[in-house]
Amino acid sequence: QVQLVESGGGLVQAGGSLRLSCEASSRTFSRYALGWFRQAPGKEREFVAVASWSGGSTYYADSVKGRFTLSRENAKNTVYLQMNSLRSEDTAVYYCAAQPGAGWGVRPSEYAYWGQGTQVTVSS
């Protein structure tokens, strides 16, 4: 299994920035993609971004392209989500998720392990 701990959420003004961190640890898996999802009240959980095991490949949802940036530090099994130009519609609980193996998808059902989430609130 993979244990995931998110941090970095908080309250920020529209147009501001936050950096989320996700630290992963596992005794059984040495290769897994790390992705970010978010869920606002009354809405389905949606894909935000994902980084492959190497960190050399990333993919972003259209809604965050050009504003959010992923980086992965495999030595610490940590992925960072730098969020710039935040908007009120970015308000949600953000979840880090792990997908063991070679795959790295965009559907929540493809991820077997999840963190507890961190709240991001963007005020106007």
- Chain centroid to CA 32: how far? 14
CA 90, CA 80: separation in Å to the nearest integer? 17
User: How does pLDDT run across 75-105, given as a tens digit for each residue?
Assistant: 768 899 999 999 999 999 999 999 988 788 8
With the CA atoms of 49, 3, 77 and 86 taken in that order, what torsion angle do they form, in degrees rounded to the nearest 10? 30
Within 10 A of 40 (CB to CB), how many other CB atoms are there?
14
First to last CA, the chain: 40
Q: What is the mean pLDDT of the chain?
A: 93
Convert the pLDDT of each residue in 58-68 to its tens digit: 999 999 999 99
Alpha-carbon span 81 to 85, nearest angstrom: 13
